[in-house]
Amino acid sequence: MVIGITGGSGVGKTTVCEWFFKHGFKVIDGDKISREVTLPGSPVLNLISKTFGKEYILPNGELDRRSLGKRVFSSPDDLKKLNEIIHPAITEKVKDELCNTKNAVIDAAALHECDVYKLCDYSIFVSAPLSVRAKRIAKRDNISEEYAYLRINAQKSDHYYREKCKFEIINDGQKSTDEQLEALGLC
């Protein structure tokens, strides 16, 4: 069984994936794959540099994620361009990761935009209040809450995810995510 775990930044997708991992599922991390396909010298990184400029490549050859993030999270057109570059590479890598895997969860905010959802038997939307998400992002990424809100506002709405997913897990720090996941009966 393949289950897609999706939702905006800071909702707690990792928490849900950890629960599935404890129940024998392989976890495929979309953020990790995103970093892999943009390693120095990769075709994806070269295309990003060509499209957005060399100023988004650090002296060591790595992608300057923070600077590029500020640009694309402020411009829907630039975000669309970046996604058109990176999503196909992520989808191919996810397909490779699924080979010879019986049970897996895919942690991907862009599950539906990448068409990775087509590889899934079910998709789960993880939600959390905006204020909780902003605090989590700021702490995790060592950024201001204002910048965290900029990221959140550049992403899809909760309505978008609810419409596309079969299940929703509320990860607000009050309701038990374990109990909600157990109630789904997927393990």
Give pLDDT, residue 187.
80
Domains of the chain, earliest start first: 2-184 (3.40.50.300)
Distance linking the first and last C-alpha atoms of the chain: 10
Residues 6+ apart with CB under 8 A from 111: 4, 5, 6, 30, 117, 120, 123
> pLDDT tens, position by position, for the chain (187 residues)?
999 999 999 999 999 999 999 999 999 999 999 999 999 999 999 999 999 999 999 999 999 998 998 899 889 899 999 999 999 999 999 999 999 899 999 999 889 988 899 999 999 999 999 999 999 999 999 999 998 998 899 889 999 999 999 999 999 989 999 999 999 999 8
| Cα distances (Å, whole numbers) of residue 147 to 50, 136, 172, 178 | 26, 12, 21, 30
Closest CA relative to residue 24, chosen from 93, 105, 133, 86: 105
Structure tokens at 52: 């957005």
For 3-21, b where at least 16 C-beta lie within 10 A, e where not — what string? bbbbbbbbbbbbbbbebbe
Structure tokens at 114: 């990448």
